[in-house]
């Protein structure tokens, strides 16, 4: 359906619905629920140079209208992602994916970018400088404009594919960080990653999450994400993928009004594995009700 | 078949202290193995609650749960005729093809339920089944008579000695010289660890974890095994004894 089409720079999507990295595995797990070819794209599980187990259990704590996770970038390492996981995905999925890349050093981001640059299944590189669940690296690269600039510059130098930088909300001024990424040549911004949070066991008083802290996501964070997308989308001239707390078609309309060119659905996939399909099915009807002809028309209408 | 289904409750009764048995009606032809689980939606809560299947037929399914918090309290307050919303057909279940002519079932507390349908199926297959069940106290005890209807070899322990042998399931296993048998077990992790250390036969052990999704997407319940990282919700909850690694 053409009225759902959106563009992320030169990348054209059938619709703006993209499952967020870390909530959709490597995609093929969801074929038990629906045909994943209906999706705009898929942001696959965050990939690092080497295989990682991640953090000890428990990694999950429930919250009001959301959850905390501290998985810690569990993934089989980039070689297996390319040679096993993407090969498995290709058997059931005929579109391109967004490759989410994490690292613990600038060299590691560059290493993974070079490998994904050669992969035909990858349309966009999403550089995750905002993972809250790993010590050293991860979010620490995304909390200052200088390091965000440096990482962006380094990965841009080794790829011809579009580079989107995934930003953390756990900062004092997300606009200046987004601008630094744009200045360094970023082709887009993905935002927001999770908010740092904790829960404590009532009986023992100790943290529920083994890692004590984790990333808070779910519908509770939608207003935070909307506000930050609204701020950033007005300040940069590159597309923004809006992420954070989206759970239904009306949230998508809101996020695109705030300035997002496409959206990612995260935690809601975990509680309702059908949510992306439901949103894609619901959007045309909601657009009719709201007199929206094409989704493209509403991007950033809040400030335009 | 859509893997999210509503099922009507036809019974929801107190079995033992804070422990309820709920029977659902609907199409349960999807159940492949004993030891699989369902993930139940709780009003006003973000995550579903994974509960193991106790017993099943084509059109009825039984779960047993203990009230330990908001979610299970919500379930306990549901009435006959109410419906629950579930994500279905989760987990691997016990592989009964690996069981030879005799087998020991070891259950602890609310780990006992999945062993009930397992016991039924094994008896149907003419396997000689022995059962060791452990509870905190006699007031926590359930299903002992139902197991006794299936096999004469049922041993019970309670931690406080109010029924059966005083102590743990491992004490009962040692006392009755059962540690060489192949076994299927479910219970708290500390019990599984004790059982795994004690038993010399092949075992299938059912684990529980705080899960995010229950179907393999979030990596929230991963564990390290001899053959690599596994998700308790997909590659488990049943793990094979030779595959286990414990964090000491």
Q: Is B1 on the interface with A (CB under 8 A)?
A: no
Is the Cβ of B85 closer than 8 Å to some Cβ of chain A? Answer: no
Confirm whether B96-206 and B209-248 share one CATH topology: no
- Could B210 and A74 be called an inter-chain contact, meaning their C-beta atoms sit closer than 8 Å? no
Residues 6+ apart with CB under 8 A from A186: A152, A156, A163, A164, A165, A238
Give the catalytic positions of A in this structure: 131
**Contact predicate B131/B185, CB 8 Å:** no
User: In this complex, do B46 and A60 lie within 8 Å of one another by their Cβ atoms?
Assistant: no
B187, B169 Cβ separation under 8 angstroms:
yes
In what order do the strands lie in the sheet containing B183-186?
Answer: B165-166, B154-158, B128-135, B102-108, B183-186, B203-206, B238-240
The stretch B119-147 carries a mean pLDDT of 98
Domain annotation for chain A: domains and CATH numbers:
2-54+75-195+219-298 (3.20.20.70)
For A224-269, the pLDDT digits (tens) are 999 999 999 999 999 999 999 999 999 999 999 999 999 999 999 9
Query: Minimal Cα distance from A217: which residue of B?
Result: B46
Q: In this complex, do B213 and A270 lie within 8 Å of one another by their Cβ atoms?
A: yes
B15 touches chain A (CB under 8 A): no
User: Is the pLDDT score of B247 beyond 90?
Assistant: no
Residues of chain A contacting B212 with CB distance shorter than 8 Å: 59-60, 67, 69, 270
Q: What is the pTM of this model?
A: 0.95
- Chain B: nearest CA to A234, how far in angstroms? 33
pLDDT exceeds cutoff 90 at A141: no
Question: Can you tell me the distance from the alpha carbon of A169 to that of A139, in angstroms, rounded to the nearest whole number?
Answer: 10
A173 HSE (CA, 13 A, CB side): 8
Q: Answer whether A237's CB lies under 8 Å from A182's CB.
A: yes
CATH architecture of B96-206: 3-Layer(aba) Sandwich (3.40)
Are the CB atoms for A286 and A249 separated by under 8 Å? yes
Residue B2 touches partner A, C-beta closer than 8 Å = yes
Cβ atoms of residues A230 and A259 within 8 Å: yes
Q: Which CATH number fits domain B4-90: 3.10.580.10, 3.40.190.100, 2.40.30.10, 3.40.50.20?
A: 2.40.30.10
Nearest to B217 among A25, A56, A218 (CB): A25
Contact B221 A60 (CB under 8 A): yes
Confidence of residue A137 (pLDDT cuts 50, 70, 90): low
Q: Which string of DSSP letters, residue by residue, matches A180-211?
A: HHHHTT-SEEEE--PEEE--B-TTT-SBSSTT
Q: Which of residues 197-226 of A touch B (CB under 8 A)?
A: 208, 218
Query: Does A3 have pLDDT greater than 90?
Result: yes
Arch. (CATH architecture) of B209-248: Ribbon (2.10)
* Residue B63 Cα, gap to closest chain A Cα (Å): 21
What pLDDT, on the 0 to 100 scale, is given for residue A136? 67
- Rounded to 10 degrees, the C-alpha dihedral A93/A89/A268/B92 comes to 130
pLDDT tens, position by position, A29-81: 999 999 999 999 999 999 999 999 999 999 999 999 999 999 999 999 999 99
Contact B217 A270 (CB under 8 A): yes
CB-nearest partner of B220 from A29, A59, A64: A59
Mutate to test the interface with B, among A21, A29, A60, A210 (most CBs of B within 10 A): A60
Give the DSSP per-residue string, chain B: --SEEEEEEEEEEEEETTEEEEEEES--TT--STT-EEEE--TT-SS-EEEEEEEE-SSEEEEEEE--SHHHHHHHT--TT-EEEEEEEES----GGG--SEEEEEEEGGGSHHHHHHHHHHHHTT-EEEEEEEESSGGG--SHHHHHHH-S-EEEEETTSSSSEES-HHHHHHHTT-TTS-EEEES-HHHHHHHHHH--S-EEEE-----SSSSSSS-TTEEEETTEEEETTTT-SEEEGGGB----
Mean pLDDT value of segment A180-185:
98
Indicate yes or no: CB of A60 within 8 angstroms of CB of B218.
yes
Nearest to B46 among A23, A53, A65 (CB): A65
Question: Which chain A residue is nearest to residue B40, measuring alpha carbons?
Answer: A271
Q: For B205-245, write each residue's pLDDT tens digit.
A: 999 998 999 999 999 999 999 999 999 999 999 999 999 99
Interface confidence (ipTM) of the complex: 0.92
For A249, A254, B218, the CA distances from A285, given in Å and listed in that order, are: 10, 15, 31
- Give the residue extent of every domain in chain B: 4-90, 96-206, 209-248
Q: CA-to-CA distance for A258 and A262, rounded, in angstroms?
A: 11
Cα separations in angstroms, A60 against A82, A198, A218, B119: 28, 10, 13, 33
């Amino acid at each position: 359906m053409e009225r759902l089409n959106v563009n992320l720079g030169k990348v054209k999507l059938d619709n703006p619905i993209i499952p967020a990295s870390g909530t959709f595995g490597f995609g093929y797990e969801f074929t038990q629920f629906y045909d994943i070819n209906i999706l705009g794209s898929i942001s696959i599980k965050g990939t690092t140079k080497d295989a990682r187990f991640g953090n000890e259990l428990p990694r999950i704590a429930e919250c009001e209208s959301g959850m905390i996770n501290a998985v810690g970038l569990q993934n089989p390492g980039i070689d297996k992602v390319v040679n096993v996981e993407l090969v498995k995905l290709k058997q059931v999925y005929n579109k391109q994916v967004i490759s989410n890349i994490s690292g613990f050093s600038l060299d590691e981001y560059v290493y993974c970018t070079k490998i994904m640059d050669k992969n035909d299944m990858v349309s966009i590189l999403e550089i995750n400088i905002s993972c809250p669940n790993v010590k050293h690296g991860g979010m620490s690269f995304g909390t200052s404009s200088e390091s965000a600039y440096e990482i962006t510059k380094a990965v841009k130098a080794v790829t011809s594919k579009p580079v989107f930088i995934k930003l953390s909300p756990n900062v004092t001024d997300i606009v200046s960080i987004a601008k630094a990424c744009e200045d360094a040549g970023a082709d887009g911004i993905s935002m927001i990653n999770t908010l740092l949070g904790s829960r404590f066991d009532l009986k023992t008083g100790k943290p529920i999450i083994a890692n004590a802290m984790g990333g808070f996501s779910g519908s509770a964070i939608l207003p935070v994400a909307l506000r930050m997308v609204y701020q950033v989308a007005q300040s940069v001239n590159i597309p923004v993928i809006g992420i954070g707390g989206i759970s239904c078609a009306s949230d998508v309309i809101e996020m695109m009004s705030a300035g997002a060119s496409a959206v990612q659905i995260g935690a809601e996939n975990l509680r309702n594995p059908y949510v992306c399909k439901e949103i894609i099915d619901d959007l045309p009807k909601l657009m009719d009700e709201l007199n929206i002809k094409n989704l493209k028309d509403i991007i950033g209408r809040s400030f335009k | 078949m859509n893997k999210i289904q509503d099922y009507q409750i036809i019974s929801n009764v107190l079995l033992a202290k804070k422990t309820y048995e709920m029977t659902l009606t609907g199409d349960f032809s999807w159940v492949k193995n004993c030891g699989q689980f369902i993930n139940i939606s709780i009003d006003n809560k973000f995550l579903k609650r994974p509960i193991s299947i106790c017993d099943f037929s084509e059109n009825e399914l039984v779960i047993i749960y203990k009230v330990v918090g908001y979610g299970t309290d919500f379930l306990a307050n549901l009435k006959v005729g109410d419906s629950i919303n579930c994500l279905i057909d989760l987990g691997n279940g016990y592989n009964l093809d690996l069981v030879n002519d005799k087998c020991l079932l070891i259950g602890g507390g609310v780990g006992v339920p999945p062993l009930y349908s397992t016991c039924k199926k094994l008896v149907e297959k003419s396997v000689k089944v022995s059962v060791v069940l452990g509870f905190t106290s006699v007031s926590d005890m359930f299903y002992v008579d139902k197991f006794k209807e299936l096999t004469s070899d049922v041993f019970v322990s309670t931690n406080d000695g109010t029924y059966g042998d005083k102590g743990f399931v491992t004490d009962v296993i040692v006392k009755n010289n059962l540690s060489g048998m192949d076994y299927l077990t479910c219970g708290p992790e500390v019990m599984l660890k004790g059982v795994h250390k004690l038993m010399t036969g092949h075992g299938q052990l059912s684990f529980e974890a705080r899960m995010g999704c229950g179907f393999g997407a979030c990596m929230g319940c991963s564990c390290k095994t001899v053959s690599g990282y596994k998700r308790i919700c997909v590659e488990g909850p049943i793990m094979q004894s030779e595959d286990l690694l414990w964090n000491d």
